[in-house]
Structure 1
Amino acid sequence: MPATAKNCIFLMMEGGPSHIDTFDPKPVLAKLHLQEFVREGKQKSAMESGKRYYVRSPFKFRRHGESGADMAENWTHLAAVADEICFFRGCQVDSVNHPTAMYQMNCGNRFGGDPGIGAWVTYGLGSMNQNLPGFVVLPEVSYPQGGSANWSNGFLPACFQGTPLRPGGSPILDLQPPVGVTVEQQRRNLDLLARMNQRHAAQHPDQEDLSARMLSYELAFRMQTEVPGAIDLSSEDEKTRSMYGIGSAATDAFGRKCLLARKMVEKGVRFIQLYNGTWDSHDYIERAHGNLVRGVDQPIAALISDLKQRGLLESTLIVWCGEFGRTPDNGVRGGTAYGRDHNPNAMTIWLAGGGCKAGHTIGATDETGMTAVEDVHHVRDFHVTLLRLLGLDDNKLNYYHAGRFKQLSQFGGNVIESLVTGLAPLFP
């Protein structure tokens, strides 16, 4: 199937960023500010019970680019590349809790145990660089809700799991052989180990993990020569490092991740997932979201611009999302320190590059931002669309496990045609 994108950079804003305070303005909330009400209908969590108060956004919004994209005032750098972005306001998920929502966004299944998106992509497309993992993860020091299961191989062979790089110090521990051990000695040791493992594998053909472990040993050996160059940011000129915000306290950490992601794309890594958070702002949302946006705004804008000037944006799909959105109200637990609670019914996801419909805003939420009301799609349709942009058919990308063929979308879904442009038709 013809692909629009060859690589994907997935920017995961863990904790649930507020669409109402980032990319989906709701001016009516200024009129409703601190008005009390009781939410009707079925409650999904204790957060929705009791007295509720509408809360206005502390941020002003402006429109940017020829597309007139809505952005909160503190997205000063991303505003410059607004016309490269496709905003999607119609996505919904099933869970109101962090771990299950994270699993669903990352793996398609709320309950964990399934492969991450990157695992499915590398299973379907393979790797373009045999000396690097096909699926690389750049987490925070503290792993996200749900832990490493968010980038697990699940029931796929272990060679497809995400490889996390440490955010500080040496990205991969024990990458180099011990002092005094030469490459030749290490090669002989690995060859001996491989012969023993192959003999054992032949005697126990049902133990698939052993073959995956053998492959991982060989990959680790090859990575010793490939990884140092791929992660060496000192080879970048000062102008590039400064563009990503490296060296500035607020932007250094995520700037390094974004620059590493660009270098990984250049090296042929299929799927790179970057984590940032936590965006879980039940209180003090002005301060919390303000600091978080300040940390990612410049690096993300630099990533988009850098990929474009290098001719890589068209072949690289960038995704920005959280696990859910946030409510237009909360219980005002912090007094005047207003925040917002979890909202699975409305959120903003945006795409850049890779065949997305740049310069468009697709879908809409109601006047308060509580529920998606136009171009509404379950997250499974978003997953199907992401795979399609990478040239993969969700219905054909499956794996037999526990008595049935399984897929990322769980039960199938539909491409969100309004998000994409120039796709070849699907063939049976």
Structure 2
Amino acid sequence: MTGKERFEQHLKRHPHAHRPVAAKPHLSRRMFFQLAGSGLLCSYLPDRALAQSAPRITTNYEVTPINRAKNVIFILLTGAPSHTDTFDFKQSVDSPLDLLKPDTVNGIAWPFGILPNLGQATKEFTIVRSVRAWALVHSLAQTWSQIGRSPAGVLGDVAPNIGSVVALEKAGERGADQVFPTFLALNSDSGVGSGYFSSSYAPFRVTPAAAGIRNTSNPSDPNGTGRFAERWALLRNLDGSLRRDGALGKGPSDMDAFYESAKGMMYNPAVNEAFSFTAEKSARYGSTGFGNACLVASQVLAANQGTRFVQISYGSWDHHVGIYTPMENDQGRAKLPGMAKTLDDGLSALLADLKASGALDETLIVMTGEFGRTVGALTSSAGRDHHVQQFAFFAGAGVVGGRVIGATDATGAAVVESGWSRQREIRPEDIEATIYSAMGINWTTVRYDDPFGRGFYYVPDSDSDVYGPINELWAS
């Protein structure tokens, strides 16, 4: 049976799993689990902090992961950018050619007017154009992109972020002297957390700032050898032994690990160097929030302090009205021209710096939105509405650049060529499997420690091989 046939059988067996649904109530079970571990100390402690009883783990297939990436940078373009104005460029009747300035580079139609730097760097990345979303509700599709499954499914509310799975899988590879969180989320305060996993695998959420991370030192004790050291010693003397030996139960023991992890980042010059930056460095990345996130991601990975997965969120691309409004007329650069410039400046600088340092060879960059936008003529509001066709961007970790995988029709509305072995459109679950494969993780793994006893599949339906990695990214 071919991959496409297995996929079609899967859709028949689970017709409701991929049906768009309305946004959930504000406080879902997922949010409860996130809130339960969202304190400053709990949100970023390294993976080794909490001990869990070993669950039963199985794999459904003997697979060979690509295993080319040491790190992952996952960029989520929230709000859904117009694919046909950017990475699947199609000229329409309403395309402002003087703004977009389309041309062809390496056989790829490209909007040099809004993405000039990336247009000069196409040999460094591959665009996948045969990607389609399952849902057209922002909150639903954004969550889907981060957990690689339907948020409306049985385990959807408690499924962990892809980054949390990476953090758990890579926990044993951390060095004793590595104090950074394994999973770092930049400008991603509303991103998915660790789900039912321990909060030790939750993202450490940071909004990059020139001064770095706040509260990692105290002006009245600049070296941490005075008042801070005294209070730390007092805390340990009062109940440290009780917390460490478990006499007070699991909760206090877990908190002891949280405190130890937090202390590792206090008064630490590596933290200051990785998370702070000068105005000059920021300018190279565009002097924007997104650019600063790309800069910090590069510095954090260069520090080699244990971070393996970085998520960066950048939005909102929800351009229902006036999508082509020029930057000079658009306060906050909230429309396509301004947002594309911010993306172009930050991402091109990230690619250049990672390549110059050699880190691009071991860092997989993945970028996508939650869906795309309507094609052809603009709406009556001079914008573009929601559409299931979208794109994915891959670079680094041995990905063969300068190519396009898959193709859409003349307007960009539908897939006409999948471009990969499964001979069907590519879904978020396949992107998830690709990330795991690149990191050397068996994507068919099933853990039997979920709260409902159903078995948590790293990638859904691994027992029937419905989804899988896009190996063509590495094929020359």
What is the CA-CA distance between 1:415 and the residue it aligns to? 1.6
Q: Is the 8 A contact 2:430 2:470 kept in 1?
A: yes
Equivalence map 1:197-216=2 (5 Å) = 197-198=243-244, 201-202=246-247, 204=249, 211-216=253-258
Counterpart AA for 2:460 = Q
Q: Is the 8 A contact 2:183 2:204 kept in 1?
A: yes
What is the distance in 1 between the residues matched to 2:446 and 2:210?
A: 37
What is the distance in 1 between the residues matched to 2:211 and 2:102?
A: 40
Find the counterpart in structure 2 of residue 393 from structure 1. Answer: 442
Find the counterpart in structure 1 of residue 187 from structure 2. Answer: 139
SS across alignment from 1:86: strand
Find the counterpart in structure 2 of residue 47 from structure 1. Answer: none
Query: Is residue 410 of structure 1 aligned with residue 464 of structure 2?
Result: no
Find the counterpart in structure 1 of residue 428 from structure 2. Answer: 379
Counterpart AA for 1:273 = Q
What is the CA-CA distance between 1:414 and the residue it aligns to? 1.2
Find the counterpart in structure 1 of residue 386 from structure 2. Answer: 342
Find the counterpart in structure 2 of residue 114 from structure 1. Answer: 159
Match of 1:151 among 178, 192, 196: 192
What is the distance in 1 between the residues matched to 2:161 and 2:356?
A: 30
Find the counterpart in structure 2 of residue 68 from structure 1. Answer: 107
What is the CA-CA distance between 1:368 and the residue it aligns to? 1.7
Q: How many matched pairs?
A: 373
Counterpart AA for 1:352 = A
What is the CA-CA distance between 1:212 and the residue it aligns to? 4.2
Equivalence map 1:3-42=2 (5 Å) = 3-27=67-91, 29-30=92-93
SS across alignment from 1:299: helix
Percent identity, please: 28
Q: Is the 8 A contact 1:329 1:341 kept in 2?
A: no
Q: Is the 8 A contact 1:244 1:299 kept in 2?
A: yes
Q: Is the 8 A contact 1:130 1:219 kept in 2?
A: no
Once structures 1 and 2 are overlaid, which stretch shifts more, 124-133 or 258-267? 124-133
What is the CA-CA distance between 1:68 and the residue it aligns to? 2.8
Q: Is the 8 A contact 1:92 1:324 kept in 2?
A: yes
What is the CA-CA distance between 1:193 and the residue it aligns to? 4.8
What is the CA-CA distance between 1:404 and the residue it aligns to? 2.6
Query: Is residue 292 of structure 1 aligned with residue 339 of structure 2?
Result: yes
What is the CA-CA distance between 1:302 and the residue it aligns to? 0.9
Deviations for 1:384-405, whole angstroms, at most 9, x for unmatched residues? 0111011111112645202132
What is the distance in 2 between the residues matched to 1:410 and 1:103?
A: 15
Find the counterpart in structure 1 of residue 473 from structure 2. Answer: 419
SS across alignment from 1:151: coil
Find the counterpart in structure 2 of residue 278 from structure 1. Answer: 316
Find the counterpart in structure 1 of residue 362 from structure 2. Answer: 315
Equivalence map 1:172-321=2 (5 Å) = 172-177=213-218, 179=220, 182-191=227-236, 192-198=238-244, 201-202=246-247, 204=249, 211-224=253-266, 225=268, 226-234=270-278, 238=280, 240-246=281-287, 252-268=288-304, 269-287=307-325, 288-321=335-368
Match of 2:132 among 65, 68, 92: 92
What is the CA-CA distance between 1:315 and the residue it aligns to? 0.3
Find the counterpart in structure 1 of residue 123 from structure 2. Answer: 83
What is the distance in 2 between the residues matched to 1:164 and 1:366?
A: 39
Counterpart AA for 1:410 = P
SS across alignment from 1:104: helix
What is the CA-CA distance between 1:271 and the residue it aligns to? 0.9
SS across alignment from 1:25: coil
Q: Is the 8 A contact 2:444 2:457 kept in 1?
A: yes
Deviations for 1:213-241, whole angstroms, at most 9, x for unmatched residues? 3322211100111421221313x9x4x55
Q: Is the 8 A contact 1:86 1:362 kept in 2?
A: yes
SS across alignment from 2:436: helix
Distance 1:172 1:399, change over 3 A: farther
What is the distance in 1 between the residues matched to 2:431 and 2:179?
A: 31
Deviations for 1:49-98, whole angstroms, at most 9, x for unmatched residues? xxxxxx8887342222xx33332121111112110011001112211101
Q: Is the 8 A contact 1:330 1:339 kept in 2?
A: no
SS across alignment from 2:116: coil
What is the distance in 1 between the residues matched to 2:247 and 2:409?
A: 60
What is the CA-CA distance between 1:329 and the residue it aligns to? 5.3
Deviations for 1:336-379, whole angstroms, at most 9, x for unmatched residues? xx1111122x1111111012221110011222212223221221
Once structures 1 and 2 are overlaid, which stretch shifts more, 159-168 or 183-192? 183-192
Q: TM-score, normalised by structure 1?
A: 0.80
RMSD of aligned alpha carbons:
2.6
* Stretches of structure 2 lacking an aligned partner (at least 5 in a row): 1-64, 152-156, 326-334, 419-424
Find the counterpart in structure 2 of residue 105 from structure 1. Answer: 145
Q: TM-score, normalised by structure 2?
A: 0.72
Distance 1:194 1:9, change over 3 A: farther
SS across alignment from 1:87: strand
What is the distance in 2 between the residues matched to 1:301 and 1:160?
A: 30
What is the distance in 2 between the residues matched to 1:153 and 1:185?
A: 34
* Stretches of structure 1 lacking an aligned partner (at least 5 in a row): 34-54, 247-251, 423-428
What is the CA-CA distance between 1:245 and the residue it aligns to? 2.7
SS across alignment from 1:351: strand
What is the distance in 1 between the residues matched to 2:186 and 2:316?
A: 15
What is the distance in 2 between the residues matched to 1:311 and 1:94?
A: 36
Counterpart AA for 1:361 = V
Distance 1:172 1:264, change over 3 A: same
What is the distance in 1 between the residues matched to 2:318 and 2:87?
A: 17
Distance 1:59 1:330, change over 3 A: same
Distance 1:354 1:193, change over 3 A: farther
Distance 1:263 1:26, change over 3 A: same
Once structures 1 and 2 are overlaid, which stretch shifts more, 185-194 or 8-17? 185-194
Distance 1:196 1:407, change over 3 A: same
Distance 1:135 1:186, change over 3 A: farther
